[in-house]
Structure 1
């Protein structure tokens, strides 16, 4: 027991020594703090005196200039008043002879006075005080004017994350710990945070101490997807840093709800943007196409379509709608803007058409599913040009064509991939695999591309909306749709929003893209 008692006595002695140092340490820190802030207060007071002196000097200079101007104007006014009075008295009381005698003299005097150029403007703009640094900004700077430094054990510091949503302020909470594992204060400059989005772009962060050892790290992510948050204390990484932060996408606009009424939706699948820039969606449940205003989401018009299972819709260069349907009475049908059937395409080679895209010259690329699924490149009259992807695709669904590169992209539901072919039918590349991580697919459906060639793909399996580079390299995630099941996808005419059909959510969601 003696070694143990010896150790305890030594510990008690150490505590006593520290207690003896406690008050002197407090007094020294207090004096240093007061001296430090007195210096800042002196600087502020000095700056106040300087500005007040500048105001006084400016007031003196402007007052002198205004007084000089006033005297000059009053001198001219006195001359004019005197001449006016003389002329008035001569006319009212003088004889005709007297008026003739003084006429030439008075006329010369008056003409001289009237011809003289006189600046009647005061040439003075009111001076005012200007806040070069706003009080709110200075308040933030004041938070960094010194602090209390204690011994921090970075290995024991902890970070708690709250859910992060695109475009919404999010907060992570840091607790700084001492070697005994208790929360403790530290200098504000000791804590740093750096966040980057999926593209490596910095996301501004703000750090604020809320209470003893408790800090808030706030940020507003612009885009959905995986971010990285690096947190350091005294230039050392907090355990777990850099932290993975999943930012969930937030739709900029949601259109529709489940139902059969106008403006309501039942299993929306294919989406397209019409010639007016509005959104066209084909509903498998209600067997119709509805048009919605792209800005407000308001219902505009609709028309019924033929076929057992309407699937996809696109718009040709003349503003006419083409709709595919599979099952009984399958085919490709062209409708005018009023919803009247103009043509029905059902060539011998076509079986159960699904995804469809119309080229600028009127040719069509359609996914169909015979025993060996493939894509058909058709003439505007529906006659076959060539078959693409036969024997390489397992269960193709949607298709989109980047005419600037003459490359078509096909989603494969079973293979969990996107396949790229040129319009001659030659395979170019493919990307993706089954999974729920970034760049992976779970039953991909809709596919579209932007003006730079980036590819947008949505999943039916988990509702994720992902963006890939022209070569299939993952860029970022836009969000996860309502109901967790996405169908078709399109880009608005201005390229600012991605339009997604939410199959199980029975709505359309728009995600900010640019």
Structure 2
């Protein structure tokens, strides 16, 4: 009798242990590891207390310390103006922030309707895309569908595309969403922002001559739906945020696919790298319809293997909200601080690591 009781007790204990074990395992699968980063409240400050407009892409200056950001002109209360915030404004949308969050340089006023993508080349020149859609360009307006190269002081040095004219010819774009410049000076443009647009990568030489393009609208490898981000790692590989297909695609600089598309980074809106060969991917659009079961936030992983090891959850994310939220763009400075550009919340966030 005692043996039977002991056996029953042991069985119950084992059963409880198994349930607990399964519960822990389920929790680990469903939830992200502890977030080692914290937000620095109020870090970014515009001159004279001006309220922040919608924040586009952010990137790091060649000095590793200053931060460049697209801030779409003025803070507009009407949500219907998302997509053309600079249409009626002369405010500068291209801002350079000090490590302390103060604006130390600005330019670009009146040139854009919807400034979006941004890169700074090794010489400090600033490249910016205008991703405005055709239906938001006022009749006769010669802005949009172009990529501009500025000197560090803000002088226009080159224009790619035909401002105000969309198209799929080599010298035309359709809402180009992002740009990256290789160490050798070649320019790669994510063309473009719309699910049924050109959906291609266009490559130009450093002097603006068209070299080639690859990609089209679709779901297969090498095809895209709403390209939202483009970035280059230390190996020279081209990472493309194929947001409409919920994946990151990786190519060499001639357009050859290098690996099976990565789907472990959610619905990618922005991509960046640090000096430790880590990749940072901002997901601002995972929701119950577009990418059910995934949370909005910034995922950090190994750039070589793609293994995700850290997740910065966007704490105000709501999977029932389809408009997109949180950081669409991400950058990392030389000290490992992370910056998130949040268009709809109208914030430029700084994250610092508080735990190993």
Give the shorter-chain TM-score range.
0.5 to 0.7
CA distance in 2, matches of 1:337, 1:444: 30
Q: Kindly state the Cα deviation for residue 512 of structure 1 after the two structures are TM-superposed.
A: 2.4
More helix per residue: 1 or 2?
A: 1
Pair 1:498 & 2:279 matched:
yes
CA distance in 1, matches of 2:301, 2:219: 20
Q: Select the structure with the greater relative contact order (CA < 8 A; seq sep ≥ 6).
A: 2
* Bigger Cα Rg: 1
Q: Kindly state the Cα deviation for residue 348 of structure 1 after the two structures are TM-superposed.
A: 4.6
Q: Gaps spanning 5+ residues in structure 1: where?
A: 1-250, 257-295
Q: TM-score normalized by structure 2?
A: 0.57
Q: Which moved more, 1:297-306 or 1:361-370?
A: 297-306
CA distance in 2, matches of 1:359, 1:425: 14
Q: Please tell me whether the aligned partners of residues 44 and 102 of structure 2 are also in contact (alpha carbons under 8 angstroms).
A: no
Find 1:402's aligned residue among 182, 192, 201: 182
Structure 2 counterparts to residues 79-158 of structure 1, below 5 A: none
Q: TM-score normalized by structure 1?
A: 0.40
Q: Please tell me whether the aligned partners of residues 410 and 419 of structure 1 are also in contact (alpha carbons under 8 angstroms).
A: yes
Aligned to 1:334: 96
Q: Please tell me whether the aligned partners of residues 396 and 410 of structure 1 are also in contact (alpha carbons under 8 angstroms).
A: yes
Aligned to 1:313: 58
CA distance in 1, matches of 2:52, 2:61: 20
Structure 1 residues 458 and 255: CA distance shift in structure 2, 3 A: farther
Q: Kindly state the Cα deviation for residue 477 of structure 1 after the two structures are TM-superposed.
A: 3.2
Structure 1 residues 423 and 389: CA distance shift in structure 2, 3 A: farther
Residue by residue, what CA displacement relative to the aligned partner does 1:228-277 show, whole Å, maximum 9, x if unpaired? xxxxxxxxxxxxxxxxxxxxxxx9x9699xxxxxxxxxxxxxxxxxxxxx
Aligned to 2:37: 298
Aligned to 1:21: none
Structure 1 residues 443 and 351: CA distance shift in structure 2, 3 A: same
Q: Kindly state the Cα deviation for residue 353 of structure 1 after the two structures are TM-superposed.
A: 1.5
Q: Please tell me whether the aligned partners of residues 255 and 509 of structure 1 are also in contact (alpha carbons under 8 angstroms).
A: no
Aligned to 1:385: 157
Q: Kindly state the Cα deviation for residue 312 of structure 1 after the two structures are TM-superposed.
A: 0.6
Aligned to 1:104: none
Number of aligned residues: 221
Structure 1 residues 434 and 400: CA distance shift in structure 2, 3 A: same
Aligned to 2:13: none
Aligned to 1:458: 241
RMSD between aligned residues: 2.6
Structure 1 residues 372 and 383: CA distance shift in structure 2, 3 A: same
CA distance in 1, matches of 2:252, 2:300: 21
CA distance in 1, matches of 2:198, 2:32: 30
- Secondary structure of the residue aligned to 1:475 is coil
Q: Gaps spanning 5+ residues in structure 2: where?
A: 1-28, 46-50, 73-84, 133-141, 163-170, 286-294, 305-356
Q: Kindly state the Cα deviation for residue 394 of structure 1 after the two structures are TM-superposed.
A: 0.7
Aligned to 2:68: 322
Aligned to 1:266: none
- Secondary structure of the residue aligned to 1:461 is helix
Find 1:510's aligned residue among 300, 306, 314: 300
Q: Please tell me whether the aligned partners of residues 389 and 427 of structure 1 are also in contact (alpha carbons under 8 angstroms).
A: no
Aligned to 1:444: 227
